[in-house]
Structure 1
Amino acid sequence: MPSLPTLSSLARSACVAVAVLLSTGVHAQAVADPAAELGHLTQQFLNEALARNQASGASLRMEVSVGALDSRLKLAPCARVEPYLPAGSRLWGRTRLGLRCVEGPSPWNVFLPVTIKAWGPAWVLTANVAPGAVLTANDATQAEVDWAADTAAVVANADAWVGQTASRQLMAGQALRQTMIKAPSLFKAGAQVRVMAQGPGYAVTSAGEALTAGSAGQTVRVRMDNGRVITGIVEEDGTVAIRL
């Protein structure tokens, strides 16, 4: 499967597109009931923002669903409505879009619920996987899923999950995401490990006792023979490397 953009990069691209569109705002003719027009204006705004996101290289199929305001809400006529993303919001999953009247007799500010789906290829589990079990190529199959259904990033490439272990109980039908897998443990707490201290032009090897279990790329603590506790990074062969 070709490399695909990550969830975070897509969300950032969408927010950049929003920032560009906010520089102009959304114009509409003054109407007696602005609330009736806000869904249309929001849909137009989001379509343009996501179209710019797609043009930037994203390869997901985006779907937008705009909710409705409380039917009891009465808004004053407005000639110009400006959409904006509230602080902490993003164009991903269940979110909301702010709309404020910037040209009208009575300024107002409202929020519309929005759901944005991002359909793309992923790996879906074909059976349940127990915590700590090593994933094999037979455990998942390719399917189209909504990347935005969860905040955790989808694991789109098979080489990123085959050979990894389940970080918790995984259920058939779930799309594999980064929080669901972890590197296999290379040693347990209490195990004797090889420690390599490296500096400019030299390397010193010794042994120590691991104070925690360790996986490749993980930071662990090791008690040396002299009682000193050091911190290092676990390499692919189980060696704990210390950079000096």
Structure 2
Amino acid sequence: MLCRIALLLCLSLTGVYARAQTALDPALIERVRQLAETAARATAPPGTRVVVETGALDPRLRLAPCRQVQPYLPPGMRAWGRSRIGLRCVDGSVRWNVTLPVRVAVIGQVVVAAGPLPAGVNLSQEQLALADTDIAAEAGAVFTDPAQLIGRSLARPVGAAEALRAPDLKSRQWFAAGETVQVRAVGAGFAVSSVAQALGPGFEGQLVRVRFDSGRVASGRAVGERQVELLL
């Protein structure tokens, strides 16, 4: 009986000690915060403010003691919105590698809806306003100038004070099939312009096929009013 009690006490203390390893040192938390902030600022628009909130490790983790933990941004992971920062033990009896959840907010003044807007509405100056918003909270490019949106149509409803993002807008049709378009071919250190006939409608940012006078057919991206860009 005494042996069983001693064993249970030992296991209990081991569990407490292991759980203690999931409590990160404040200095390490600050290094994580600085890493995420630096990475976010590299892609954040000028004039924005970056705020990083760190989460906690999974309490079920049982990490071995480590003398040096190195924070890093995992490959393919972006310090934007809800993300994760890697933590790896580089000096310890057991090398381990885990990730810590973080939330990266990028606060900036962008165009928002002045009130609730239904899908299909053509935007006017009175329906738009500027407000500080977390542009990293959702996917999609934001706008800083209301003039960029006047006359555009909404593809979905937008709530009051909600930031307007590129996916919220209907794609503009720059030209119709059969129209003559200006084609600009862009390569390394050069650009050549020509004219061609559009073989399909040109919707903003989408690929469209064009035929040149020589009969050659190429695909490019509709970038403006009767304008197509070919990337070589």
**TM-score for both structures, normalised by structure 1:** 0.64
- The one-letter code sitting in structure 1 at the alignment partner of 2:136 is A
Question: Which structure's relative contact order is higher, taking Cα pairs within 8 Å and 6+ residues apart?
Answer: 1
- CA 1:119/1:43 → structure 2, altered by over 3 Å: closer, same or farther? farther
From the CA coordinates, give the structure whose radius of gyration is larger: 2
- Indicate whether 1:48 and 2:37 are aligned: no
Q: Return the offset for 1:127.
A: 2.7
Q: Return the offset for 1:139.
A: 2.4
Equivalent-residue separation in structure 1 for 2:92 and 2:183 (angstroms): 69
Q: Return the offset for 1:222.
A: 5.2
- The one-letter code sitting in structure 2 at the alignment partner of 1:169 is R
- Indicate whether 1:124 and 2:117 are aligned: no
CA contact (8 A) 1:194 1:239 kept: no
- CA 1:241/1:150 → structure 2, altered by over 3 Å: closer, same or farther? closer
Aligned identity (percent) is 35
Matches within 5 A, 1:135-150: 135-150=123-138
Equivalent-residue separation in structure 1 for 2:22 and 2:82 (angstroms): 21
Q: Return the offset for 1:92.
A: 0.8
- The one-letter code sitting in structure 1 at the alignment partner of 2:117 is N
- CA 1:211/1:71 → structure 2, altered by over 3 Å: closer, same or farther? same
- CA 1:42/1:178 → structure 2, altered by over 3 Å: closer, same or farther? farther
Q: Which residue is 2:63 aligned to?
A: 75
Secondary structure (helix, strand or coil) at the match of 1:148 reads: coil
The total of aligned residue pairs comes to 203
Secondary structure (helix, strand or coil) at the match of 1:37 reads: coil
- CA 1:34/1:194 → structure 2, altered by over 3 Å: closer, same or farther? same
- CA 1:115/1:231 → structure 2, altered by over 3 Å: closer, same or farther? closer
**TM-score for both structures, normalised by structure 2:** 0.67
Aligned Cα RMSD in Å? 4.0
Equivalent-residue separation in structure 2 for 1:144 and 1:211 (angstroms): 43
Secondary structure (helix, strand or coil) at the match of 2:24 reads: helix
5+ residue gaps in structure 1? 1-30
Q: Return the offset for 1:240.
A: 6.9
Equivalent-residue separation in structure 2 for 1:171 and 1:215 (angstroms): 23
Equivalent-residue separation in structure 2 for 1:57 and 1:232 (angstroms): 29
1:37-60 Cα deviation digits (max 9, x unpaired) = 25x345301332326865998422
- CA 1:236/1:101 → structure 2, altered by over 3 Å: closer, same or farther? closer
